[in-house]
Amino acid sequence: MRRITVALAGLGTVGSGVIHLLQDQADLIARRADVAFDIIAVAARDPKKQRSFNIPQALWFADARDLVDTQADIIVELIGGADGIAFDLARKTLLSGKPLVTANKAMLAKHGSDLAMWSRKGNVQIFCEASVAGGLPVIKVLREGLSANSVTHVRGILNGTCNYILTTMMREQRQFDDVLAEAQAKGYAEADPSFDIDGWDTAHKLSLLTAFAFDTVPQLSGIGVKGIRHLTLSDLNDAKQKGGVIKLIAQSAKDPHGNITQIVEPLFLDSASPLAQIDGVLNAVEINTSHAGPIFIQGRGAGAQATASAVVADLIDFAMGRGVPFLKGRP
Amino acid sequence: MRRITVALAGLGTVGSGVIHLLQDQADLIARRADVAFDIIAVAARDPKKQRSFNIPQALWFADARDLVDTQADIIVELIGGADGIAFDLARKTLLSGKPLVTANKAMLAKHGSDLAMWSRKGNVQIFCEASVAGGLPVIKVLREGLSANSVTHVRGILNGTCNYILTTMMREQRQFDDVLAEAQAKGYAEADPSFDIDGWDTAHKLSLLTAFAFDTVPQLSGIGVKGIRHLTLSDLNDAKQKGGVIKLIAQSAKDPHGNITQIVEPLFLDSASPLAQIDGVLNAVEINTSHAGPIFIQGRGAGAQATASAVVADLIDFAMGRGVPFLKGRP
């Protein structure tokens, strides 16, 4: 059996989930892919913090960038943030010729073009399934499963927090502020919820789906973004009376002239639409294709285990020699 | 740009669809994968038959088994049938060390174990996305996207003909025999419809999903199979009164002791269930996993273009060096 050494930056919810998953599923992974992953190094701000896992063989680093200098075969970046340490680590990894796994939508959306250039020049792979829709393998479906298709239109529900709030408002007939406050108290929404509820988290994910669907680079600045903050319970009840629901929908389309439009906004959906059925924290994506027709996929868009599932699938793809050229870089 | 030579056996609906797709999407495939596929040889029973495509550079063979002796880098088998020429071709292909693309669910279900053995011994790949659910990349989702997960339960709607009949009976309040006769007249159902309506087409596909989900070999004989022939309009109306629908559902599950059960039968589904929403000729699969939670995917399960989309995605995977060990062979 082959052994692949892994260095992991970021030991928050997802990072811990990856360590648990690699340990819990080691036998299954060995059976399926004839490989064992050894976490030989990790980086986290507080090495003394109590952790839920035990990795006695791993070296601990305070500075994530030092992970690249270890013997690790592949670097996993789960720090987050478009710039700062995460981007420094990604750059250093790629320029060193080491493959990168990342769940960092903000970094990919902002620096996708540079990352693609380094990936191409160094012939080094970037894996990023966890960056959009958590445990849902939508990037793989789009880039590999539908690789023979032109895509005409992508739309989806990509933010579980917003969808949870809208679903709960309707189900319990409560106002937005009330449900948001409860979601914050329960930890479903951030203390500063604006990134989610104003549509920016959705917009970051949409920019990546758009880039993968239409073979371009992520363009965050071109997205019209409207969130759910202004929606009232009576808006939702009105929608129900008209035979539908209101959801925060991300969509992008390419017209016959090649112009791409990207929009994030609350939309009225007829009750019969598959996206109208997506309740609570679920995510879903609908991909309209030239030959395979419309493809619809739904599942858990967030959470430690679901997101770790995508990260470890990327590691297994690397181990099996599977990969996809990341994105088109600047011409 | 690399050139990959392809030999194609079977020029029916799907085979013609593959030729059209490769020609129509040649630019897109070149841009995405930096590869051109050249169909250098084809096999069909009647070489004089009028065709919808033009492949002047291809050699024509009457015996599909002769394709293996050409210079083709990869063989695409679209003849169908569990045994006969299709199986002879698959065996000869694998024993010659050439990779195989096949959409042949009956052959994979019956001879999966032997095919896996030859694949493993010769270190030669088998690609089979088109064998289950047409354009829906469910095998890729199961084996690659969810590769870090144990699967507990798979269920789906895998036969468009049955689902079309049940949907139409309900929508137009007509009896089974009446709708079946119309479907046959329109070409949606075969002259001998028993393979579809008695559940055997579904059972073949289920045996493959089960094998991929639980890392085993296909076991067609162990499936309890019940079709839709006995269902009356009043059965469907009763279900509606109880708040649901009746669908032909394929399901397999693995219990904590490792025992696998597989069943194909008409089932009552609550209207809120995602599978209850699947109408007409659509297919859908629900995969329950250890870490990613439940994943649901729906789309076109049949048709020339959708099935060709899966076959060409397999060719692109081959070109890009992506692959998955086919199945566990006999121990």
Question: Average pLDDT over chain B, rounded to whole?
Answer: 95
Residue A287 has pLDDT above 80, yes or no: yes
Q: How many CB atoms are closer than 10 A to CB A58?
A: 18
Looking at the complex, report in whole angstroms how far the Cα of residue B299 sits from the nearest Cα belonging to chain A: 5
Mean pLDDT, rounded, for B225-240: 98
Structure tokens at A227: 């969130």
pLDDT in tens, A221-249: 989 999 999 999 999 999 999 999 999 99
* Pairs across A and B, CB distance < 8 A: 177
Under 8 Å between Cβ of B303 and B280: no
Q: In this complex, which of B146, B294, B308 lies closest to A291 when CB atoms are compared?
A: B308
Q: Residue A248's closest CA among A217, A206, A219?
A: A206
> Which residues 193-252 of B have a C-beta within 8 angstroms of A?
215
Question: Average pLDDT over chain A, rounded to whole?
Answer: 95
pLDDT in tens, B21-72: 999 999 999 999 999 999 999 999 887 888 999 998 999 999 999 999 999 9
How far, in Å, CA of A40 to CA of A71, rounded? Answer: 8
All residues of chain A having their beta carbon less than 8 Å from the beta carbon of residue B32 are 147, 215, 325
Structure tokens at A122: 């160094």
pLDDT number for residue A39: 98
> Touching check for B185 and chain A: CB below 8 Å?
no
Catalytic residue (choose from A92, A105, A110, A205): A205
A165 backbone dihedrals φ, ψ, rounded to 5°: -65, -50
Q: Residue A193's closest CA among A183, A205, A178, A208?
A: A183
Looking at the complex, report in whole angstroms how far the Cα of residue B143 sits from the nearest Cα belonging to chain A: 9
> Touching check for A13 and chain B: CB below 8 Å?
no
pLDDT in tens, A71-113: 999 999 999 999 999 999 999 999 999 999 999 999 999 999 9
Interface test with B, best of A277, A309, A316, A318 (most B CBs within 10 A): A309
Q: Is B97 exposed, middle or buried (0-12, 13-18, 19+ CB in 10 A)?
A: exposed
Looking at the complex, report in whole angstroms how far the Cα of residue B322 sits from the nearest Cα belonging to chain A: 4
Q: In this complex, which of A277, A292, A317 lies closest to B144 when CB atoms are compared?
A: A317
Mean pLDDT, rounded, for B71-80: 97
Instruction: Quote the ipTM score.
Output: 0.96
Beta bridge partners of B127: B101
pTM for the whole structure = 0.96
Q: Residue B91's closest CA among B59, B126, B58?
A: B126
Interface test with A, best of B309, B312, B326 (most A CBs within 10 A): B309
Q: In this complex, which of B25, B32, B289 lies closest to A215 when CB atoms are compared?
A: B32
Mean pLDDT, rounded, for B172-181: 96
> Touching check for A289 and chain B: CB below 8 Å?
yes
- Closest chain B residue to A303, measured at CA: B292
Residue A45 has pLDDT above 90, yes or no: no
Subunit contact B289:A300, Cβ cutoff 8 A:
no
Structure tokens at A197: 């509820």
Q: In this complex, which of A215, A308, A316 lies closest to B31 when CB atoms are compared?
A: A215
A240 is catalytic: no
Structure tokens at A211: 């880039």
Catalytic residue (choose from B92, B205, B247, B254): B205
All residues of chain A having their beta carbon less than 8 Å from the beta carbon of residue B298 are 274, 295-297
How far, in Å, CA of B291 to CA of B277, rounded? Answer: 25
Under 8 Å between Cβ of B54 and B22: no
Q: Write out the DSSP string of B44-77.
A: -S-TTS--SS--TT-EEESSGGGGGGSS-SEEEE
Q: In this complex, which of A33, A295, A306 lies closest to B136 when CB atoms are compared?
A: A295
All residues of chain A having their beta carbon less than 8 Å from the beta carbon of residue B134 are 292
How far, in Å, CA of B302 to CA of B283, rounded? Answer: 8
Subunit contact A147:B313, Cβ cutoff 8 A:
yes
